[in-house]
Amino acid sequence: MNKKYLCHVDFLGLYNIFNDKFNNKNLKNVFNEILEELEIEILYLATFNYDFLKIGKTKYGANSQLNEITRLIQKQKNYNHTFDPVFSFCTNDKDYKFKIIKNFESFGKDSLYQYALKNNMEYLNLGTNLNFISTAIHYAEKFFNVNYRYEKTFVGNYKYKNKNNNIIYKHTVWPMTKKFCNYDAKKINKDLIKDGVWKVLKFKNGFYVKKANIKLFNNYIKKKVKKDPFYPVHKKTKAWMTKFLKENKQISMKNFES
């Protein structure tokens, strides 16, 4: 049985690692050649679009807002899209069954991530560097109490086959503040590589091709957070939040968006 992957791709990193393949100016062909070299047949490629969160509407197959390669691949006839008004993937997996969920939680029980975990898929990063933090961290956060982000509900329209669907979308967000809010991607990636969670397949000029078992990834982050509840976040974020929590009960929408 062919292994299936949830994939993030970075164009600059791909160019650095697979420079010899870019003599072919057709980017779709280049990407497919790279997949062939890596012996990857079944892929779920991140094609995220944030319009639903910004303007309250989106559609099936909305143009990826990530990079040009993802926009090209999502238009291939053998690729379809997964359901998620924001974090949608395109895939050539014929086993995936598309279904609209009108009350949907990002990275929750009806998400592709839960489906991927149940079906023993793996994460795959193509050409990313240490400063890239994938949405894998958001799925891992479903397995412990998060005290540095809070849940927010968005309501909007999702268009599929000329039909408008009203969607209630629950998503965990950073506090609405001018203070610095971010993950410490470099620390997390270094730890994951050092401890063998990220398996490095290729490395060049600071860019990686790496993969990870989803369950192992989740358990690793959960274990780190058990020791330090602010493990995933940048030290500047941890500093102001720790101070805030001493004066207030929690990082919540009530305290930042009232």
Residue 98, classified by CB atoms within 10 Å of its CB into exposed (0-12), middle (13-18) or buried (19+), is exposed
Q: Are 187 and 172 in contact (CB under 8 A)?
A: no
Q: Are 8 and 43 in contact (CB under 8 A)?
A: no
pLDDT digits (tens, 9 = 90+) for 45-60: 999 999 999 999 999 9
pLDDT digits (tens, 9 = 90+) for 19-41: 988 886 788 889 999 999 999 99
Quote the pLDDT of residue 21.
86
Q: Which residue has the tokens 């919540």?
A: 252
- Please compute the mean of the pLDDT values over residues 1-26 and round it to a whole number: 89
Instruction: Determine the Cα–Cα distance for residues 128 and 211; give it in Å rounded to an integer.
Output: 11
Helix, strand or coil for residue 93?
coil
Residue 84, classified by CB atoms within 10 Å of its CB into exposed (0-12), middle (13-18) or buried (19+), is buried
Q: What is the pTM of this model?
A: 0.94
Instruction: Determine the Cα–Cα distance for residues 9 and 15; give it in Å rounded to an integer.
Output: 11
Sign of the torsion angle spanned by Cα atoms 5, 214, 113, 231: negative
pLDDT at 221 > cutoff 90: yes
* 165 C-beta neighbours (distance < 10 Å), count: 16
pLDDT digits (tens, 9 = 90+) for 54-95: 999 999 999 999 999 999 999 999 999 999 999 999 999 999
Quote the pLDDT of residue 24.
67
Quote the pLDDT of residue 1.
59
pLDDT at 258 > cutoff 80: no
